[in-house]
Structure formats: C-alpha cells, structure tokens
Structure 1
Amino acid sequence: MKRQLGVSVYPDHSDIEQDKAYLTLAHKYGFSRIFMSMLEVTEGKEAVSQKFKELIFFAKDLGFETILDVAPNIFEELGISYDDLTFFHELGADGIRLDLGFDGNKEAMLTYNPFGVAIELNMSNDVAYLDNILTYQANTPYLYGCHNFYPQEGTALPYDFFESCSKRFKEKGIRTAAFITSQAGNIGPWDINDGLPTLEMHRHLPVEVAAKHLFATNLIDDVIIGNAYASEQELEALSKVNRYQTAFSIEFVAEANPVEKAIVLNAQHYRRGDITHQVIRSTEVRKVYKNEANPAHDNTQEFQVGDIVIGNDSFGKYKNELQVVLEPHSDPRKNKVGHIVEAEHILLPFIHPWSKFKFVEQ
C-alpha cells in the first residue's frame, strides 16, 4: 500500500486564506492528504457548507484527499443524518472519520454509500470493533483506520498499546493513519494544545524522526501532522523522509575516509538474516570494496550503541564490512566512521533480519 503524508486544518479556528496558503505549501512538498476537523461548527448549515466547500474544493484542485472529522453532535447541529451522506459529498469530502462508533452493521452499511465517501474508524481502542464491522461484510476499500491525537501532555498512547491497536487494522489490510506533532504549530481543535501526537514518545521529537518511526513500524500507511501550521522547514524535512525503508541520519567522524563514506552512503544495506545481538551486519559491501584499502583509525575506544563501524585492513575477509553497534564493545579491527543521531536510536529495534536500510549524512 502506498504511503502518504498529510496535514491538518481547523477551519473554525483559522483564516481560510491562511489555510489555503498552508495547503499550497504542503502540496509543494508532496503532501497529499488532509485531516479537516468539523467538530466545532456552530455557524449553521449554510455558512458551514460554504466555508468547508470552498476549502475542500481548493484542496481537491491540488490533488489532496480530504477526510472530515465528525461527531454525532455535528449531525444534530446541521440537521443531517448518517443515513444520507449527500451533504459531505456536496462538500467534496473524500471521507468522514467517525469519532464514535455504532453497532458494526451501521458502519458496514455506510461503506456502501452511493458517493464512495470513505468511512474512517478510530484505531485507538484495543477492542474487536473492526472485527465486528467486517463480520457485516463491509466494503473494505472504503474503510480506513486512523488513530486519535492527544492535545494534553502525558495523555497520548504508549508504544505497546499503539502497536496492539494498529495490528488489528493492518492485519486486515485496512489503510491506517496516525498523527505526529509540529514543534511550530499552535492550532488544534481545543483550547489546550501541548502538541497533537498519537504516541506520547513523539510529543517533543522532530517531525521527521517521528514519521520515520511510524513508517518503520510497518503498521502505519499515512502520517499526518496533527497541529497547524507546521513550518516550511518541517514540511521540507518530511518530504525527504524515505517512506518505505529506514534511512538513518548520521554524523561522520573527522577521520572517515572516502572509501568508508562511499560504503555508508552509496550502498543498499540490509541486515543479515542470521542476526546477532551485538551489531547489525551489512555484509555485501565487503565484497564490493574488498580491494579497497582501509587503514585503521578511531579503533581503540569502546564502541557505543548507534555507532557505525567498518572493518579495517587488519580484519581479513571482514575488511570493509559495515556494522551498526547495538551493544557496547571494543575491537581494534573496526574503525568508527560515524554515529546515528541520538533521536533516531528508536529506529534500531525495527531493523529485523533482512530489513533494508540506508544512511543520509546529517
């Protein structure tokens, strides 16, 4: 399933021209999905319709897919019904996110609406909610899953719970999404906004690190910035994230030589299938560079977690093999050539046997 980047907008808390400018900028950097909150509307059906329609069709012209976040009180406020999604179709919405669920049969019926409006479910509950819907023979291409975000510091999901919830959807082939938080944005749905991540561990991380982490889990297809407005620097950083394999950001040591830099940066690395706890081994590079000299340097200290080491000339057949350190150890036959930036150490557990990975210089 192809992976997407998304942004969020809050038309009831922002200026429409600023929203348009933000979407134009996000489009420039390859974003293609919008989470649009409709939880706070109070202006009446006609005014709401006009505002949301203008913004959604502007986004549609840029190629965005827009999912509206709705709740039962909105249907009462606007005098509309879950049994007729005409209103959302006329707004141009590609889907609606159900903040609260029904009995399973209702959700399944909604996926057969004549307009092809997708029905997105709340993923942040570790219960058999999805299984119940699927027993009613839902139209699964029009069934999405998306986690919640959490504006209050300390209230977002722990990783193990997130993983358990996400597997319920991913194992059924449902498109999944989760939120990360901009460190620049200050607009959300409520008056408390300590950031809007799905995972608490992401609340203070750079957006690109949080996105890499979500993609590395192989449980999330779409990564959405929960708050508005992200800075252009953040949008650009996210646009450079490899969505399909982990690309570690690294810093080289001063003595790293051209051969070592080529080994690190130019190869398609993968972890050997017969793994060890001490290091991640990328062994094919030693065959490619077997005739290249690699004198010893930075080889007498204890290597630490996240260090990148390469076999030097004294390492025989293992010369120019690349390894990522998982457990501290010493070995003078290896040169330390660089280090994975500290924040990205959370990605190391996702390099499994045969996992593909790359490096980019910080």
Structure 2
Amino acid sequence: MSQKIRLGLSLYPEQESLEDIESYLKMASERGFTKAFTSLFSVQGTKEEIINYFKNFTTIAHRYGFEVDGDVNSAFFEMMGAKADDLSVFKEMGIDVLRMDAPFYDERDAILVNNNEGIMIEFNTYMKGVIDNAVANGGNPKNICTCHNFYPQRYTCPALEDVKEENLQLADYPVAMFMSSQEKGTHGPWPVSDGLPTVEEHRNIPIETQLKHMVALKSVDEALIGNAFASEAELDAIQNMMNKIYFHLESYDPNVEEDAMLAAVRKILPSGDLTRIPLTMVLEEGVSDLEKEMLFDFPLHSVSGDSLNYMLRSRFPRFLCKGKTIDVRPVEKPFFEKGDVVIVNDNCRHYGGEVQIVMKPMENDGQRNLVGHIVAEELFILDELKGNDLFSLEVK
C-alpha cells in the first residue's frame, strides 16, 4: 500500500471552453493531479478540425503535466483514418493513452497494443478476455492499462464485490476507477447530473471519502473524478486527504523524547513511506484525556492480523497505557455495534488501553469503554482493512 494512488479528472470539451479547461487543469495540477480523461468522439467537426482542436487541448494539458487519456470508438477510428497498425493521427493530436470503448476482438488488439507511436492502450476492466488474447498474440503487457466505467444513472453501478473481483483479476495492470464530485451542476457526457462514480456506494459521499475507500481497496492505481468541474474546495480536500494517507514515519515528531510506544513501532513497521487510512469518528461524552491520547496522539494504528472477526484491534496504544489506569465507565447498551470504537479498561488490565473497532454485534461485558463510533458513510471502508493495515483516527 505504499505506492501512491494517481489522481485524475475528466473533461468534456464539447461542453467546455478551452479557457475553463485550462483554469481547471492549472488548479488541479497544483494539487497533485496528473491525468486527464476526455472523450475524443464527442467533439464535432471535420477530421482536420478535430485534430486541431485536440492539438490545442493536449498542448494545454501537457503544459500542466497531464497525461491525456482519450476515449475512442470504432466509428471515430474509421472517421480519423486510424488503424490498429497506424495510430499516427492520435500521436499528432497529442494523445498519450487510448481508451478503447470497444476493441477489435481479434488479432488486431495485439497489433494495437504494440503500436509504433508509443501510445498506451486502455481497456475496460470487464475485457479481461480481450486483454488475455492480446497478450497471448504477442501484445506487450507493459503497454496495457485498464479503467472501469462510470455510471450517470442512479443504481446502475455494478456491485462493489464484482468491481473488487475484477481488480484482483487485473492485478498485473494499472486499474483506474471513477469517483464523483458532489458539486451541484456538474456534468458528464450526457445530460444527467447525479454524479459519475464507478460504484454506487460513492455516489452521495464526500469525494475525499471516496478516495479514502479506493486506497483502502489496495487494488486501485488511479482515482479519476468522473464529472466536471469539481470545486476548488473538493480539490483541496483531496490534496489534504492524500497528505493524511501517505505518511513517512521518520517525519513524525511527537515533540517529546522518543517514548516506548514510538520506539516499539519503529521496530515493527518498515522505514520509508507508509499508507494509512484516516477514519472519522464521533466522540462520546466523558472520554478521558488518557483515552484521547490512546486514540489521537500517535499518528497511526495497526490492525492486528490474528483477530479479524468481531473487531479490528490496535495494540500500539497499550504501550502508552503501561502503569496507567483506564477507569471503567459504564456503557448502557447491552451490545456494541459495527463501527463502535472502544478502549479496553481496567476490568481486563492485561489488554488495558487497546483500541478496538467493532465489526459485528458484540456483547458488552464491562471490559471496554465506549469512546465513539465511526461515521456512517465510512463503515464500508472498515470492511477493506486487513491484518497489518494502518489507520488513524480523527474527530468529525
């Protein structure tokens, strides 16, 4: 999980001016975005007009460090005079990646992949058979990347489990997914304004939470905003989330001398860049200062790999708790529920201070203090956390 997910956006030039496009690209580039998805066949005009338009478009995009990914179909191929063994027209336009809305489904797919123009070929993630055949026929797998669809109409997205399965099957290739801006009045290629996510779970939640989930999946290489234009506040939120997710342990300065907990963590975790999933929680009333220290003072928690059943366990805070008392605070409800955040109290002193996130109903036996709960829109992210994954906690 240490390699950073790549950030991208989408543009629909038949609906946008080059001035607005440049402004958006500049703003996004300053926040770490490096890929621009666009539809080549949606721009009207003669072959020469389309070539000239996209020359201007890609010149702007390249100026701001963007790789341009152009969506094409067979009709557009024919109109532009392109062939599997001749992509020179797309090279002239400045296109870096061709997303095949529909491949050839024969030996030409391998020829396409091995094109002399150095253009990456992007297949839809459901085209695993096409990719396999292309490689079997001599196509260079290093020239292949993949991308999921986006879905403008509510409830048309594929099941999250199916998306995850496709990602696993395509683990040898870069995989891109679409997230959706929540800004009102955004657009895609069609006159529908309900967002453009790959999975339905993302349609109505903050864009930075969508990004957080994609990173937690550990099978997504590129996160692309499907609709345009995301707001500046959303781009800021994504940049801030990236800074929270990707963490360098050596850069952590607790402003105190090295303590036992930090020393132990340095022995357990590898050096270099780490990836953590920031989880947002609502804090219960009456939480003690010591309990807050267990939750928030150290910048990461690690999921214990041997107890992934009723809870996610973070053992690191137990180092902070040595020699200290975790007073028992009564919890009225008889069962803890998924998303409840608890800390083991002195009724079970050996585990005192351990932070646990409940994954399924669990009897309240008096050994745990309820300190809060994960916000509802992030509960599904918990399902992606596995043994040794890192996370942090922050208050909503």
Matches of 1:290 and 1:134 in 2, distance apart? Answer: 57
Q: How many residues align?
A: 359
After TM superposition, list the pairs within 5 Å mapping 1:36-51 onto structure 2. Answer: 36-51=38-53
Q: Give the alignment partner of residue 76 of structure 2, picking from 74, 77, 93.
A: 74
Matches within 5 A, 1:106-117: 106-117=108-119
Structure 2 CA distance for aligned equivalents of residues 356 and 123 of structure 1:
28
Q: What residue number does 2:175 align with? A: 176
**Match for residue 219 of structure 1?**
219
1:276: Cα distance to partner?
4.5
Task: Report the equivalent of 1:144.
Answer: 145
Deviations 1:217-276 (A, max 9, x none): 222110111010111222222223326432211222232233322322224322222115
The CA deviation at 1:177 is 0.3
What is the distance in 2 between the residues matched to 1:195 and 1:124? 21
The answer to whether the 8 Å contact 1:11/1:52 transfers is no
Q: Does 1:91 align with 2:103?
A: no
Aligned residue among 33, 36, 59 for 1:34: 36
Q: Secondary structure at the match of 1:32?
A: strand
- The residue type paired with residue 211 of structure 1 is L
Equivalence map 1:1-12=2 (5 Å): 1-12=3-14
Moved more, 61-70 or 301-310: 301-310
| 1:317 aligned onto 2:350 | yes
Cα distance in 2, alignment partners of residues 154 and 18 from structure 1: 31
Q: Secondary structure at the match of 1:264?
A: helix
- The code of the aligned residue for 2:157 comes to A
Task: Specify which of 360, 375, 388 is matched with residue 327 of structure 1.
Answer: 360
Q: Which whole-Å CA distance do the structure 2 matches of 1:44 and 1:118 have between them?
A: 25
Amino acid at match of 2:310: Q
The residue number in structure 2 matching 1:357 is: 391
Q: Secondary structure at the match of 2:383?
A: helix
Query: In 2, Cα distance between the equivalents of 1:298 and 1:141?
Result: 58
CA 16–307 in structure 1, closer or farther in 2 if over 3 Å, else same: same
Q: What is the deviation of 1:298?
A: 5.7
1:305 is aligned to 338
Structure 1 runs not aligned, ≥5 long: none
Q: Does the CA contact (< 8 Å) of 1:104 and 1:136 recur in 2?
A: no
Contact 1:9–1:228 under 8 Å retained in 2: yes
Matched residue SS, 2:146: strand
2:39·2:70 contact (CA, 8 Å) conserved in 1? yes
**How far apart, CA to CA, are the structure 1 residues paired with 2:228 and 2:61?**
16
- Structure 1 counterpart of 2:294, from 263, 283, 305: 263
Task: State the identity %.
Answer: 33
Letter of the 1:217 counterpart:
L
* Correspondence for 1:202: 202
Closer/same/farther in 2, CA of residues 49 and 262 from structure 1, 3 Å limit: farther
Letter of the 2:139 partner, please give it.
A
Say which SS state the counterpart of residue 356 (structure 2) adopts: strand
> Shift of the alpha carbon at 1:321?
0.6
Please list the CA deviations of residues 193-238 of structure 1 after superposition, one character each: whole Å capped at 9, or x if unmatched: 4321111222222212222222222221101110101112222222
Cα distance in 2 for partners of 1:245, 1:137 equals 39
Instruction: State the SS of the aligned residue for 2:178.
Output: strand
Are 1:147 and 1:198, in contact at CA under 8 Å, matched by a contact in 2?
yes
Could you tell me how far 1:359 is from its partner in structure 2?
A: 1.9
For the aligned residue pairs, the C-alpha RMSD in angstroms reads 2.0
- What letter matches 1:227 in structure 2? N
2:120 and 2:149 map into 1 onto residues whose CA distance is: 17
Whether 1:240 and 2:240 are equivalent positions in the alignment is yes
Say which SS state the counterpart of residue 128 (structure 1) adopts.
helix
In 2, the alpha carbon distance for the partners of 1:359 and 1:116 equals: 44
1:123 Cα deviation from its structure 2 partner: 0.8
Structure 2: distance between partners of 1:245 and 1:111: 35
Q: Tell me which moved more, 9-18 or 250-259.
A: 250-259
1:293 aligns to what? 325
1:348 aligns with 2:382: yes
Q: 1:55 to 1:259 in 2, by over 3 A?
A: farther
User: How far apart, CA to CA, are the structure 1 residues paired with 2:45 and 2:308?
Assistant: 61
1:118 counterpart residue number: 120
Tell me the residue number matched to 2:104.
102
Could you tell me whether the CA contact under 8 Å between 2:278 and 2:393 is conserved in 1?
yes
Is this contact kept in 2: 1:130–1:168, CA < 8 A?
no
Aligned residue number for residue 58 of structure 1: 60
* Residue-by-residue CA offset, 1:72-102 (whole Å, 9 max, x unaligned): 1112333333322222222222111000012
Distance 1:168 1:33 in 2: 24
85-94 or 293-302, which deviates more: 293-302
Asked whether the 8 Å contact 2:179–2:197 carries over to 1, the reply is yes
| CA distance 1:236–1:298, shift in 2 (3 Å) | farther
On the 8 A contact 2:308/2:386 being kept in 1, the answer is no
Q: Aligned partner of 2:336: which letter?
A: F
Alpha-carbon distance between aligned partners in 1 of 2:117 and 2:285, rounded to the nearest angstrom: 60
- Per mean C-alpha deviation after superposition, the further-off stretch among 284-293 and 17-26 is 284-293
| Letter matched to residue 290 of structure 1 | K
Q: Distance in 2 between matches of 1:15 and 1:201?
A: 32
Alignment check: 8 A CA contact 2:84 2:109 kept? no
Alpha-carbon deviation of 1:178?
Answer: 0.9
